[in-house]
A = this chain, B = another copy of it.
Amino acid sequence: MQNVLESGGASAASGLTERQGAVLEQALRLLVDGGEKALTTAGIARAANCSKESLYKWFGDRDGLLSAMISYQASKVRTLDVSAGALDAEGLRRHLVAFAKDLLAVLAGDVSLALNRLAIGQASREGSKLGHMLQERGRRQIGRRAGALLEAGRKAGLLVFHDAEEAYGALYGLIVSDWHLRMLLGEEPGEMKKGFSRRAERAVDAFLSLYGKKG
Binding site for B on A (CB under 8 A): 34-37, 114, 116-117, 119-121, 123-125, 128, 131-132, 134-135, 139, 166, 169-170, 172-178, 180-182, 184-187, 202-203, 206, 209-210
Shortest Cβ distance from residue A90 to the other chain B in the assembled complex, whole angstroms: 21
Instruction: Give Cα A189–Cα B214 distance, bound, in whole angstroms.
Output: 37
Instruction: Give Cα A206–Cα B132 distance, bound, in whole angstroms.
Output: 30
Residue in B117, B125, B135 whose CB lies within 8 Å of A120? B117
Residue in B114, B119, B185 whose CB lies within 8 Å of A119? B185
Instruction: Give Cα A177–Cα B184 distance, bound, in whole angstroms.
Output: 15
> Chain B residues near A184 (CB, 8 Å)?
120, 123, 131
Residue in B135, B185, B209 whose CB lies within 8 Å of A132? B185
- B35 and A124 within 8 A (CB): yes
15 examples of A-B residue contacts, CB within 8 angstroms: A35-B124, A116-B185, A117-B123, A120-B121, A123-B186, A128-B186, A132-B185, A134-B185, A135-B185, A170-B206, A172-B173, A172-B178, A173-B176, A173-B203, A206-B210
The 6 closest A-B pairs by CB, nearest first: A35-B124, A173-B173, A128-B186, A131-B185, A123-B186, A121-B121
Q: A119-B185, A185-B119, A187-B131 given as contacts; is B169 within 8 A of A124 (CB)?
A: no
Shortest Cβ distance from residue A157 to the other chain B in the assembled complex, whole angstroms: 20
- B181 and A36 within 8 A (CB): no
Shortest Cβ distance from residue A161 to the other chain B in the assembled complex, whole angstroms: 11
- B177 and A131 within 8 A (CB): no
> Chain B residues near A121 (CB, 8 Å)?
36, 117, 120-121
> Chain B residues near A123 (CB, 8 Å)?
35, 117, 184-186
Residue in B37, B119, B187, B206 whose CB lies within 8 Å of A135? B187
